[in-house]
Amino acid sequence: MSDPLLIAGTALNSRLFLGTAGYPNQQVMLDALEASGAELATMSIRRISLDGYSGSLVDLLGDRVRLLPNTSGCVTARDAILTAELAREALETDWVKLELIGDRETLYPDVEQLVPAADELVRKGFVVLPYCNDDPVTCQKLADVGCAAVMPLGSLIGSGRGLANPAAIELICARSPVPVVLDAGIGTASDAALAMELGCDAVMVNTAIARSHDPRRMAAAMRAAVEAGRLARLAGRIPERLFAEPSSPQLGLVGS
C-alpha cells in the first residue's frame, strides 16, 4: 500500500526519521539505518578538528538517504541561522531541522526565538522543520510562517519517557496544516506506534535505537511500530467503552 509522506513536495515512503548519533560504532549505525527503512537521517554541523579532515560519514549516508542537518546546540537565533546556512553549503540541501535550545538541562525549545528564526530561514529559502514544544499554538505559529512540518517533542530529548502529553500531541495533529513529526522522547516501539495512532505523520528516533542493547533489532522494531501505528490510524480505532461489549453472537447460546 503506497502511503507516502509529503514534505515540501518530496515524497518519503518511510515515516521513520533516524538520528545518526550515539551508536556503538559506525557499522551498527549503518545497519540500524538499513533495518529502520528510514529515508531521512539527521546530522549535526560542527567545527572541524583543526588537526585535519579525513573522510566523512556523509559519503556513507548520502547515497542511501536524504540528509536533514540540524542546528542542535544552538541557543541564539543568530547561531542557528548561520548553522543552517553552513549546512546548506556543506550538504547542498535546503532542508534544516531547526533547533533552538532555551535551557541546557532540559533542552527545551526557546519558542520566543524559534518562531522568528523559522520565519527568517523560510524567507531565505529553507525547508524548515522546527523542533518545538507540544503546544498547538506554537505549532500553528510555525506553520503560519511557512515551516514545512512541525516537530513537537514527545518528552525531553534522550529521556526515553515517551509521550508525556498524548492529548496535546493528538490536538496538534488534529489541527496542524503541515505534517507533524513526533520528535524526542521515544523510548521504545510502543511509543512510536502511539504517536502514529494519535495522528502524527512521522516519528523521529535516535537515542531509543542507538542506545538500545541491540540497535539493529530496535530499528526494525521502530519500523514495524511506525507502520503498525500508521495502519491503525488509517483504519480508525473503535471508541472506548465503559462496559463490556460481547464479540461473539448472543443468539443460539447452548442451554438457552
Partner 1 sequence: MTRVRVNGEEAEIGAGTIAELLVARGIDPGARFLAVAVNGAVVRRAEWPEAALAAGDEVEIVRPLQGG
Nearest approach, Cβ of 251 to partner 1 (angstroms)?
Answer: 57
- Binding of partner 1 by 237 (CB under 8 A): no
Give the nearer residue to partner 1 in terms of CB position, either 16 or 91. Answer: 91
Residues 54-73, mask of contacts with partner 1 (x by CB under 8 A) = --xxxx-------x-xx-x-
Give the nearer residue to partner 1 in terms of CB position, either 57 or 231. Answer: 57
Do residues 111 and 102 touch, judged by C-beta distance below 8 A? yes
Provide the CA 206 distance to its chain's centre, in angstroms. 9
Grid cell, residue 136, equals 498547538
Do residues 78 and 120 touch, judged by C-beta distance below 8 A? no
User: Nearest Cα to 175, choosing from 202, 199, 208?
Assistant: 199
- Binding of partner 1 by 207 (CB under 8 A): yes
Among 64, 78, 123, 217, binds partner 1 (CB under 8 A): 78
Catalytic, out of 97, 141, 230, 233: 97
Distance CA 212, CA 200 (A): 23
Give the nearer residue to partner 1 in terms of CB position, either 52 or 249. Answer: 52
Sheet with 202-205: strands ordered across = 16-19, 202-205, 181-183
Among 6, 46, 144, 167, binds partner 1 (CB under 8 A): 46
User: Nearest Cα to 230, choosing from 23, 2, 68?
Assistant: 2
- Binding of partner 1 by 115 (CB under 8 A): no
Residues that bind partner 1 (CB under 8 A): 19-23, 29, 42-48, 50-53, 56-59, 67, 69-70, 72, 78, 82-83, 85-91, 157-158, 206-207
